[in-house]
Amino acid sequence: MSTSTTSAPAPVQRYLAADESADAAALAATFAPAATVIDDGHAYFGRDAISAWRNGPASEWTYTQEITDAGATGPNTYGLTMHLEGNFPGGVADLHYRFAVLDDQIVHLTIEP
């Protein structure tokens, strides 16, 4: 990864580690119980749905990823840009991840181009 995320809030760091290891349970545990994830136009509410999203739609393709930009965007928000290359339609994408964090948990994540 070309950009350091050491200044990222702890739950974002845990999210990235769980995502990299494809551990849906650990990834879901980084979220508050009533958190939301918006990805590819779909909304997932709560840890069970977030875990199912990670095991389902978020694992549909094989790809490599590299963080190309990262940083705080506000007092409780953090953003990063992830460059992906893989076997999904188009083969290359730059996705923006916008995290909202409260009390050491992610309360909202939006992933979009």
Three state DSSP letters for the chain: CCCCCCCCCHHHHHHHHHHHCCCHHHHHHCEEEEEEEEECCEEEEHHHHHHHHHHCHHHCCCEEEEEEEEEEEECCEEEEEEEEEECCCCCEEEEEEEEEEECCEEEEEEEEC
pTM of the model: 0.91
pLDDT number for residue 4: 56
Q: State yes or no: pLDDT of 2 exceeds 50.
A: no
10-112 folds as Nuclear Transport Factor 2; Chain: A, (3.10.450)
Segments making up each domain of the chain, as ranges: 10-112
Over residues 94-113, mean pLDDT: 97
Model confidence pLDDT, tens digit, residues 35-82:
999 998 999 999 999 999 999 887 888 889 999 999 999 999 999 999
